[in-house]
Amino acid sequence: PSPEDDMAKWNEQRSWVRDFSGGNCFYANVTSGPGGAPTIEGYGTAVPPFEQLLNDFKTRFHIEPDISVRLITLSQCGVPTFLRLLDRSSAAKPQLVLDKTSIPDGAPVSGALYTGGGLVSNIMLIDHKGVAFNLDDRMVAQTDKVTFNIPIGLAAADKAAGKAVPQIMLVITGPKDIQAAMFSRPTPASELLPRILEEIEADGSQFSATATYFRLGG
């Protein structure tokens, strides 16, 4: 197939995945590029909707996608909703890369964020209880990227439970800072994300968002 065919097929797969209905707490997007084997990343509270996605995708496109499922808590469900709503934007997505996706309690989460030139990013962590923490002042600007190395620990009760818990880093990128995203004290994501969306919609500029996932402790 020609590059044009690859591009057309890829766009079709992306919009098909974007429109797939996996329930209330569900988000999936194609992470591979045109012409490659399709890979999909998803966020949700359960695996069955992704099994359905896999089967329906195979039926529709006659190829099996490689799906990575990030299982999150009910308190984090604002994130998939937020990503789904911002997916409609044609703005280029920032790239957020973590050095490790499984982090021992008390160790730092580290990595880098790559965005297009001249864009501003707001970065936050949404913990397993659905509380958002502003990470903007923990970022170190380099010439072509922003890096971070942030020690992170569990509360005593979570530590005692001994289970790894899901954490989400969310980056929103656009032509300027979002006032609602410049919060100082930890805030429930269920309050914060709708405020951010409202501001983006009122502004009318092109903003995009990306999330990445890691497990803490265990």
So what's the pLDDT on residue 1? 75
So what's the pLDDT on residue 88? 72
Domain 78-216 annotated CATH 1.20.1260.120: no
Buried b (16+ CB within 10 A) or exposed e, 162-198: eebbbbbbbbbbbeeebebbebeeebebeebbeebbe
DSSP codes joined into one string, 60-83: HHSS--EEEEEE--GGGTHHHHHH
Nearest to 212 by CA among 64, 106, 59, 109: 109
The rounded distance, in Å, linking the Cα atoms of 168 and 45 is 13
pLDDT per position as a tens digit, 153-162 = 998 888 888 8
Given CA atoms 205, 29, 19, 14 in this order, what sign does their dihedral have? positive
So what's the pLDDT on residue 118? 75
CATH 2.60.40.2550 domain extents, the chain: 78-216
So what's the pLDDT on residue 204? 82
Higher pLDDT, 115 or 207: 207
Which of 112-116, 127-131, 154-158 is modeled with the greatest confidence? 127-131
* Fold designation for 3-71: GMP Synthetase; Chain A, domain 3 (3.30.300)
**Res. 7 pLDDT band, cuts 50 70 90:** very high
SS3 content of the chain, % helix, strand, coil (to 5): 30, 30, 35
pLDDT higher than 80, residue 99: yes
- When pLDDT is averaged across residues 111-137 and rounded to a whole number, the result is 92
Nearest to 185 by CA among 131, 105, 127: 131
Longest dimension (CA), the chain: 57
pTM of the model: 0.91
- When pLDDT is averaged across residues 44-73 and rounded to a whole number, the result is 97
- When pLDDT is averaged across residues 12-17 and rounded to a whole number, the result is 95
Instruction: Provide the token pair at 75.
Output: 């308190």
CATH 3.30.300 domain extents, the chain: 3-71
So what's the pLDDT on residue 117? 74
Instruction: Provide the token pair at 131.
Output: 């509380």
Per-chain mean pLDDT for the chain: 93
So what's the pLDDT on residue 110? 97
Higher pLDDT, 27 or 143: 27
Assign 39 to helix, strand or coil.
strand
